[in-house]
Amino acid sequence: MLDHTHDPAALSWVASANDPATDFPLQNLPFCRFRRAGSLEPWRVGVGIGDRILDLAAWGIDDLNALMARPGVERRALRHRLFDTLKAGAPEIDLVPQAEAEFTLPCRIGDYTDFYTGIHHARAVGRLFRPDNPLLPNYQWVPIGYHGRSSSIVVSGTPIRRPRGQVKAPDAEVPVFKPSARIDCELELGLFVGPGNALGEPFGIDEADEHAFGLTLLNDWSARDIQPWEYQPLGPFLAKNFGTTISPWIVTMDALEPFRIPFTRPEGDPQPLPYLDSPRHRAAAAYDIEMEVWLKTPAMPEPVRLSRSNLRHAYWSLAQMLTHHASNGCNLQPGDLLGTGTISGPAPEEAGSLLELTAGGKQPITLPNGEQRSFLLDGDRLGLRAQACKPGFRRIGFGACDGVVTPAG
């Protein structure tokens, strides 16, 4: 699926897009919704190029969900047209500086499902709660997920208010209702659904790519002291739905084609059931995307990186998430969001949550300025970053996914 839009030598007439450090070179072209900061203008669909935004209103594109619903061949044709408009030598047109824009959610998110595809995260968390049986027996057979709350998904930069909830200490007879003292982050990517499927009509694993529109950074904020008391027997609830932050940018699957890698399972692990497996899927269903967690406390002049992981560590692929979700006839729709779950790597420094990094809060992190953190305090700013890098191709970035914790109301 590689074509001229992936050519690393291609340059743009937008000078900032040619900077090797930019998230948005000509080979990326991510989508967003924006307007000029401080204005009451309608939200517009835009495309990122360097430090600018191409407004697609003049192109007749004012609804990203409608674009998501188009077949893949039409979406690729639009990518080619955008590439040709912004490449070096094309006539220059007016663009909007990103510094003068404000952003909202990139599309209407009808439904949100969060998966649990990071096996290293699943094992690490399982050891904290079930030392003798950290990985439940269904994990290696079925992509685990729960239905989240789409109404509390917010765009990067939106403050996250510390939630209140029921908390029960191990030695207490009754729970108490109080502000959470164990606010955590989760390093995830979110997959936006493209055309989707009709109710009662699932699709095969080799058709899944047609239903994948693009990826965004996703932080599934979690209240770790509320979670263990409420999650049995039906799973996460108020410990999760007080806020989910995503980047304002959607990086299309077409932009990520160069970073596909084979999908493999560790030797000795069960292989996926036939409906989640195929030779084509095994050949190139995984992606090499680096992901990072950054923290800045009110007392720190600059943020510090807490951990780094990679989507290659996911136990289930994006295609398997899509296929399994629709396998019972569930109708996925354009703009639906599927979270990957926390993507942690096998090494301790590759953990995608503070719960793992601090061994459940028992081993606080010491920051460069001497401060310590087990979980997030009010005023802490937590940021996620991601990039796809491969020799011979331009670096593809995902923009910022930031949120600051504010006191409970």
Nearest to 354 by CA among 238, 219, 204, 192: 219
Measured CA to CA, the distance from residue 93 to residue 52 in angstroms comes to 11
Question: Token pair for residue 97?
Answer: 């500086």
Measured CA to CA, the distance from residue 354 to residue 222 in angstroms comes to 10
CB contact at 8 A, 290 and 389: yes
DSSP 8-state secondary structure symbol assigned to residue 41: P
Half-sphere exposure of 302 (CA within 13 A, CB side): 3
Give the angle subtended at the CA of 341 by the CAs of 254 and 75, to the nearest 5°. Answer: 20
Q: Which residues are catalytic?
A: 121
CB contact at 8 A, 252 and 396: no
Question: Token pair for residue 348?
Answer: 């301790």
Query: How many CB atoms are closer than 10 A to CB 60?
Result: 6
Measured CA to CA, the distance from residue 230 to residue 63 in angstroms comes to 38
CB contact at 8 A, 70 and 214: no
Measured CA to CA, the distance from residue 204 to residue 275 in angstroms comes to 7
CB contact at 8 A, 240 and 177: no
Measured CA to CA, the distance from residue 224 to residue 204 in angstroms comes to 37
CB contact at 8 A, 208 and 171: no
Residues with Cβ within 8 Å of residue 301, at least 6 apart in sequence:
none
What is the three-class DSSP state of 10? Answer: coil
CB contact at 8 A, 364 and 306: no
Residues with Cβ within 8 Å of residue 45, at least 6 apart in sequence:
31, 32, 33, 56, 57, 61, 62, 63, 64, 67
Instruction: Tell me the Ramachandran region of residue 164: left when phi exceeds 0, alpha when psi lies from -120 to 50, beta otherwise.
Output: beta
